[in-house]
Amino acid sequence: MDDLVVVGAGPYGLSVAAHAAAAGIGVRVLGRPMASWRDHMPEGMYLKSEPWSSNLSAPGGRHTLAEYCATRGLTAEHGSPLPIGTFSAYGLWFARHAGLPEVEEATVTEVAPEGDGFRVRTAEGPPLLARTVALAVGVMPFTRHPEALCDLPPAHYSHSSGHRDLSRFAGQEVAVLGAGQAALETAALLAESGARPCLVARRSRLNWNTAPQPLERPALRALRAPHSGLGTGWRSWAWSELPWAVRRLPAATRERIAATALGPAGAWWLRDRFERTVPALMGHRLHRAVALGGGRTRLGLTTAAGESVVLDTAHVIAATGFAPRLARLGLLDARLRAALATVGGADAPELGPGFESSWPGLFFAGLLAAPSFGPSMRFVHGAGFTAGRLVKGVRKRLGARGPLPGRAGGVRAVRAPAGHPETYLR
């Protein structure tokens, strides 16, 4: 039986595993490394966050994005957007160098209670047994679509996370729904790939981030608008640096913060590319979608003034984000899921200071932790706050269950990395 099984191998899963391995915990990591970034983002996308705030977390602050770029002769500078491909490659490099065991590319199909621990089933082999489990499944289970699209045939619409190559839409009209970075950048990339996109948004106007201020500034300017991993300003600083304080707020307040803080906005470096190539219907609400012949779709829109507008298009891409809902987590045993305490009226787990849910030994990291710890859990930057605290929670839980097999006189047997027959002692 393993001490800890981490489900998911994105920034949060890899960071948790690095801290767990350093703590001497027998850990296994299941999933495709950096899958969301490698498989679900179009070619040509850039990282919106600053490179210095996009590090995965390893003990001692080692194995940073800047360190990776330096080994490759690449530039990771403040105010200079970084290609998504570079960030994905950094995650793979981190997995090889940060001391965690080799990631097992297995598809987890079920996590269920088993005795005093958990049974983890995969599509590739026999089930695993674990004393504790950390679910770091990323955002893909939680894609959100407007209800009006749900009655359409699947070929008529998609989510922005479903496209690695947008060139398939060359020469076609594509309606992109949303007003955040994903919608704006997807629309710009569509135009640059030869498609004819049109942005449709409920908001009356688009919000654009301004170019970041220099890292080195006069003290008064820095005091008025401090830098943080989530942006510039005191509000962003609070969400970035004080997730522990957010968790102490009333549940209804945390729900509201998780849902509304750091709302939709486009990166400063994207604005010119977008405005030159993409028409936008602002203040238009989608109320109906009908499949037409020839694979086309008719959208019924309503303006803020109550006027009806019809838009015919070849395809609809919903860049409408992700909703942290336990009900979407099909791999979690239904009885276990129903037993979890949730945050107020939200369908997200209530988590303790060590990211442990109300079910002993079951931990959550990433998006599902946002209603407990705030908006930083929606970003890579949140992995730095999460990893060490979650592993501390795992150690506390393992200790509460008494001495573990393989531990005698303070020496503990640790499973060797895959491909190595020997056993290491710590």
Condensed to tens digits (0 to 9), the pLDDT of residues 128-145 reads 999 999 999 999 999 999
Retrieve residue 189's tokens: 């990339």
CATH of 2-142+322-425, one of 3.40.50.1100, 3.50.50.60, 3.40.50.300, 2.60.40.1180: 3.50.50.60
Residue 177 Cα distances to 186, 255, 281, 379, angstroms: 10, 24, 10, 22
pLDDT less than 50: residues of the chain: 403-426
**CA–CA dist 56, 92 (Å, integer):** 11
Name residue 41's amino acid: M
What does the pLDDT read at residue 104? Answer: 97
Instruction: DSSP letter for 160, please.
Output: G
Order of strands across the sheet that contains 308-313: 284-291, 297-303, 308-313
pLDDT reported for residue 402: 57
Interatomic CA distance for residues 229 and 380, integer angstroms: 9
Q: What is the pLDDT of residue 346?
A: 83
Q: Is the pTM of this model over 0.95?
A: no
Q: Residue 207's closest CA among 265, 263, 260?
A: 265
Q: State residue 325's pLDDT score.
A: 94
Could you give the residue ranges of the DSSP H alpha helices within 329-409? 334-339, 370-373, 382-400
The answer for residues whose C-beta is within 8 angstroms of residue 295's C-beta and 6 or more apart is: 155, 156, 314
Q: What is the pLDDT of residue 413?
A: 34
Is domain 147-208+265-318 annotated with CATH 3.50.50.60? yes
Residues of CATH 3.50.50.60 domain(s) within the chain?
2-142+322-425, 147-208+265-318
